[in-house]
Structure 1
């Protein structure tokens, strides 16, 4: 269940949605609000910080908190026609080609969402690995528990508790990265040939794993600020849709975060229609606000949300460490793990547990979020300066990718091919859908410091885009 401050924040969100609180209106002071609601000053401040993180209010120095104008879905480009028919992912070859180019270490790293090594505390991670290996002793030569290292699950549960998420160590299972957790959820919640609803544009890796498991995809359209709630609800109510795979926080590639009310609604629809939600929360800890946004799982009272996370986007994908909270599929997940992979890398689990116990992970996240916000802002401004007239770029609330919409006559796939010839990797929009509807879009990684070299690369990409306008 959500913490008290989250319940209070949700109440104020409803006041903002309903118009009882108007844009520009000043909220009561933290002290006054705590007296009005009979809560502690800490709870009152946490409530306001949550509203700030969700984009509902703005803190003004020496003045207080004010209601922000909550934008409606922008008119923007006309929404593509969605047929409402499920289909297999037919562009796997294109996805694999993009992955091959993006994995080139000698290329400018705009194609894959990856942090620069300079943003990762590698020395501290190394020390944690050494300490953990010593403590493991003879356990280094044995299989670990199928559910994952108890110390790591305890460390994760404590870490999440600080962000208002109530997990016990027993609720969690350690996986071989976030995609392993997502794959596990798909295998337990659906059968080959069945349909999985996704929000589109959708991260190509998710489409890839759906196809590898023999499932079909039903695309649900997004606008640049989030979901069309009734379209998502209608999809979840369909008898042929057996699960919904989505990200609610710092969406890849659009960068939005759903409101608390939207997350609560999705959890309620999952239970009402018995439609499992596989929640990919891999960018959940990469928001730019002080408060980590809660996942849909926080409103899941009946276990219909299969929550997945990882340190791949906050530390390193090389560790291949992720986790899931399987909900009502907990026992099935354990059986699956025992039968197929037995356990996850024991020394690295122990190292991550040590890193979290020392407080280093939370300290790292605070620094990382600031760096990401600065890098994304710098790259966004450079794109708008360098790319063809009429190009637009998203304004993400978290994460470190930018979705660029080029003029309609500009072919993103041609840009990808031409850029690759010059040692520049990007992700063309065509790999984020099972159709061609995003052919005039590209996604850029902003996970590296925006230095002179990055500036020059973006400028050259802009030239390539202008050349690709037909």
Structure 2
């Protein structure tokens, strides 16, 4: 819908500062003329901005840009003393709790450039000819590695194509990194709370974990350093931008300090950076890898959250561990699906990917704002709601909530949710829930979409589980 696209663009302009808060917006007629839309569409755009808090109307003066006040404070991040624990595989996905619009961090297909991807696949298949049927290069298709190198260089994140190793998604990249840097029984430092998929992975690999508290600007690096200094952790596994589930991003200072700690104590840091490009600001936040001077940061990413989860395509920049990483990949598999690699290389190389990501960021910023607005208006007054500046998930804290009971009741109604207990080995987040915002709340006909119906029922269930 055109009015929603225009609202998304306006929100991005206000968030980035291109339209300062308090700045007068164009009149409805002028806005309609500038964007070649009807006056009705212009009105719908401004009314939606007003509803979401991104515009305010002043009598006889018009509409003015605004930043919506956060009526709900963010969830409390508990302070605690670190200790070594054993992760447990919660089997969320096998229990059916990891599927559906609210349960898994994923995008609605309507946000994806499906037709363009199909054209890239056909073009890549035609140009590759018989080569399409051979074994792929174990470290990754050179065309794809070159395309990724050029793409990230546009963000001032430079690396050689030969340094990159292509994997079957980000989790596969992380799994390989953990396998070559640690042994079963050794401890890996993680953020608290931590993405449940990483906890399940570490449990299956037989690793112990040390949860590091989340603080206002990132992680409690003082406690992390003590564990590094004493040799109590053999590696770290962190997201640094738009963490799942909290949405927290490390400050640039924290990222630089984390890279320095890795080099100082020679402790490898595996960086799961799958949400890097989904920040709502125009500039890209640099990963920890940007400040790495000693090669101890293994930077992992994928297109699963930006383009296609089904393609299972990711990568790792393994730093000083490159030879071990490539050797492990060579002995474990014969590489990654070649047609998919060539199709994605084509899609990135034609700059369609950059344009898609810019548009996707606008849509996600709009959807996160819509979810927050709806939740804030309907959850109990004392509820706490995260205000992420990127990614696609919201972290909720509802005092008195029994999130296990909530998720069980929701599952009985085929509504997927993940409670706080799934994101920690400690008994800290029982009143928390993660909600995915990757699916629109409204359908194309302005009616409520499935995600909207599920969110409405989720709110009703929260009142029954307190």
TM-based fold match above 0.5: yes
2:464 pairs, out of 458, 463, 467, with 467
CA RMSD of aligned residues (A): 2.2
SS of 1:96's equivalent in the other structure is: coil
Q: Tell me how far 1:466 sits from its aligned partner.
A: 0.8
> CA, structure 1 residues 225+389, in 2 after alignment: closer, same or farther (shift >3 Å)?
farther
1:245 to 2:237 alignment: yes
Residues 240, 287 of structure 2: 8 Å contact kept: yes
Q: Tell me how far 1:103 sits from its aligned partner.
A: 4.9
**Residues 449-468 of structure 1: CA deviation (Å, up to 9, x unaligned):** 12123333222211111110
1:327 pairs, out of 311, 314, 319, with 319
> CA, structure 1 residues 81+268, in 2 after alignment: closer, same or farther (shift >3 Å)?
closer
> CA, structure 1 residues 360+60, in 2 after alignment: closer, same or farther (shift >3 Å)?
closer
SS of 1:124's equivalent in the other structure is: helix
1:436 match: 427
SS of 2:85's equivalent in the other structure is: coil
Residues 87, 209 of structure 2: 8 Å contact kept: yes
> CA, structure 1 residues 164+394, in 2 after alignment: closer, same or farther (shift >3 Å)?
same
2:147 match: 155
1:79 match: 78
Q: Tell me how far 1:146 sits from its aligned partner.
A: 1.1
1:456 match: 453
2: CA distance between counterparts of 1:268 and 1:289? Answer: 26
1: CA distance between counterparts of 2:181 and 2:138? Answer: 20
Q: Tell me how far 1:120 sits from its aligned partner.
A: 0.3
2:362 match: 370
Q: Which has the larger displacement, 131-140 or 273-282?
A: 131-140
**May I ask how many residue pairs the two structures share in their alignment?**
400
Residues 268, 300 of structure 1: 8 Å contact kept: yes
1: CA distance between counterparts of 2:303 and 2:94? Answer: 20
Q: Tell me how far 1:99 sits from its aligned partner.
A: 5.0
Q: Summarize the alignment of residues 371-450 of structure 1 with structure 2, pairs less than 5 Å apart.
A: 371-407=363-399, 409-450=400-441
Q: Tell me how far 1:233 sits from its aligned partner.
A: 2.6
1: CA distance between counterparts of 2:148 and 2:377? Answer: 42
SS of 1:319's equivalent in the other structure is: coil
Q: Which has the larger displacement, 415-424 or 116-125?
A: 415-424
Normalising to structure 1: TM-score of the pair? 0.81
2: CA distance between counterparts of 1:402 and 1:438? Answer: 14
Residues 387, 461 of structure 1: 8 Å contact kept: no
**Residues 253-278 of structure 1: CA deviation (Å, up to 9, x unaligned):** 11122121111111011000111100
2: CA distance between counterparts of 1:445 and 1:462? Answer: 14
Q: Tell me how far 1:75 sits from its aligned partner.
A: 9.7
Residues 256, 288 of structure 2: 8 Å contact kept: yes
2:36 match: none
SS of 1:198's equivalent in the other structure is: strand
Q: Tell me how far 1:324 sits from its aligned partner.
A: 0.3
Q: Tell me how far 1:249 sits from its aligned partner.
A: 0.7
**Residues 24-57 of structure 1: CA deviation (Å, up to 9, x unaligned):** xxxxxxxxxxxxxxxxxxxxxxxxxxxx99x9x9
Misfit runs of 4+, over 6 Å: none
2:294 match: 302
Residues 237, 275 of structure 1: 8 Å contact kept: no
SS of 1:434's equivalent in the other structure is: coil
> CA, structure 1 residues 444+99, in 2 after alignment: closer, same or farther (shift >3 Å)?
farther
1:37 match: none
1:347 to 2:339 alignment: yes
SS of 2:237's equivalent in the other structure is: strand
Q: Summarize the alignment of residues 15-54 of structure 1 with structure 2, pairs less than 5 Å apart.
A: none
1: CA distance between counterparts of 2:79 and 2:465? Answer: 22
1:101 match: 96
1: CA distance between counterparts of 2:390 and 2:142? Answer: 30
Unaligned stretches of 5+ in structure 2?
A: 1-11, 24-66, 68-72, 443-447
Normalising to structure 2: TM-score of the pair? 0.82
Unaligned stretches of 5+ in structure 1?
A: 1-51, 69-73
1:291 to 2:286 alignment: no
1:215 match: 207
2:158 pairs, out of 158, 162, 166, with 166
Residues 386, 458 of structure 1: 8 Å contact kept: no
Q: Tell me how far 1:183 sits from its aligned partner.
A: 0.3
1: CA distance between counterparts of 2:20 and 2:409? Answer: 47
1:127 pairs, out of 111, 116, 119, with 119
